[in-house]
Chain A
Amino acid sequence: MVAGLLVESPAGEGVARPRSAAAVPPARAVWWRRALRAAPPYLYLTPAVILLVVWTYRPLAQTVQLSFHSWNLLPTSPIREVGFANYERLLDAPDLGASLWQTLVVILGMLPFTLVIPVLVGLLSRRVRGRAGAVYRALVFAPMLVAPVAGAAVWQWLLDPSAGIVDKVIGSPVNWLHEAGTAQIAIIVITGWHIVGFAVLVVSAGLTGINPDYVAAAGVDGASRAQATRWITLPLLSPTMAFLVLMTVLLSAQWTFPLIDTLTQGGPAGATTNIYYLLWDYGFHSYDAGLGAAAGVLFFVGFVVLASGLVLLSDRLSHHDD
């Protein structure tokens, strides 16, 4: 009989490790080598950051600064510090409330063009494929390529109460651009005509991003076309729709600006003066740079709050497709 022991076999190792060896210290490169390796991303970012600083952040800071001063835009006239006087004047003026209301009207009026029509057109045109689809999308997108001012000039003729084709077609002499009620409608419809192609394109892209298996699966599962749209496609499109709402809320009033300036100059009687036109009016019609800047700062803060809320909302919606 031979005496012995059952011995555990050691875990495999690539190389024999000296028993006595302590933990091996991690290799560390010299500091400038590490800095050099970390630098490229920052270098790539630099041009964009410089442009942002020059064209966005510096003007923003200057606007804030200007909002506490009084100045008439003449290089020769002095800039006086006035504290919060510009903000007080702004909040006391009745124009502000009216223009906020007009802005809200524009946003609500734009939603059919930026959300409802594009979603309907997007869903209906899904089955237009290949070359026909490309032509169709180009046609819908075309108004976006027309310069707003040129478009406005044409619409001015179309809406002319004596010779315009719009009144001829509906058979009643409405003075679209010079009546308080209709001027805002005209501005909204023309802006909508301009922007709807872009929104359709966004919706089409959103629909293309949805895996066709979902709708196919819904069909096999027994859902009708309407049910599949309601229960599958629209919920999966919600991040796109949230994006469009965000764009509409933040940018509608800006999109209308060239049209207002060309067609109504904010009139009649301020009926089409939204906040952007108002602040432009303060600065460049009344030459009250301080007041314009104060309005700008106020709207900026307001839109930051609004945008944050909407971004949060769209983040919650966009957990969908992965």
Chain B
Amino acid sequence: MLSWSISRVVTIGLNTFREAVRMKLFIAMTILAMCTLASSFLFREFNFGSSELKFIADFGFGGMTVFGSALAVIVTAQLFYGEIEHRTALTLLAKPIHRSEFVLGKFFGSWATVTCFLGMLSVCLVFVLWFRETSILEEYPDEFEGGRRIVQYGEIVWFSVVQVFRIGILCSVVILFSTYATSSLFAMVMGVLVWIVGQLQHIAIEARGVVDNLILKSVYAFASFALPNFHLFDVGEKLALGESLPSSVYLKLFVYAFLYSSFYLAVASASFNRREL
């Protein structure tokens, strides 16, 4: 029996990562996201003083969430289904590897790609905020109590970490659909669907208690239980308002993301094991 090997998972993961960063799409998305962030400099026109910093933070957080999620869906579908579509999986899976190693390797590669993207964006955000804060500090010293900086840079790092958790779930969902799909478009569409429904999931939770119609109630119940609640990861709204969160919240979010991702990856491995190439 061939033993399961983490080193093969790492090899596939690293190669997937290499493929992703050499993709034109990744470079294009990174440039686009950075342009979005840079456009927050337009706020300068309005002379807001220190509140401009909150606007920039909001903008950066929004960019990370939206572009990060979009990239997760597109890149994962391309990287996983692409191997089947371009028949490169045939050569790969003819090597002594378990299909679950392939699934996990692809997951970690895609996840690392989007994590890298989020990392770059958060470094940019920190830079933009630091730059603006320094000039606003000189322009409007009265708005800074005791001349102290008001942006909590540590919270930006925490926000990025939480987004990495969110992306983990999303990547694993797209992998699951890719193992079943007959086109990468199907995997992408399903990924986007889960993303949107997961984002609105808290409404389904409440709606479940409000509606009387049994069918609607079941639909809401299914949506609220079967899909992850991505809205939980929108901690930026709190952090941008200058609040910090206790580490227990981050821990819970990690456990939440870990459980969902593991579940989707386990199902994906089972599904891919049965797939004929």
State whether these chains interact: no
Partner-B contacts on A (CB < 8 A): none
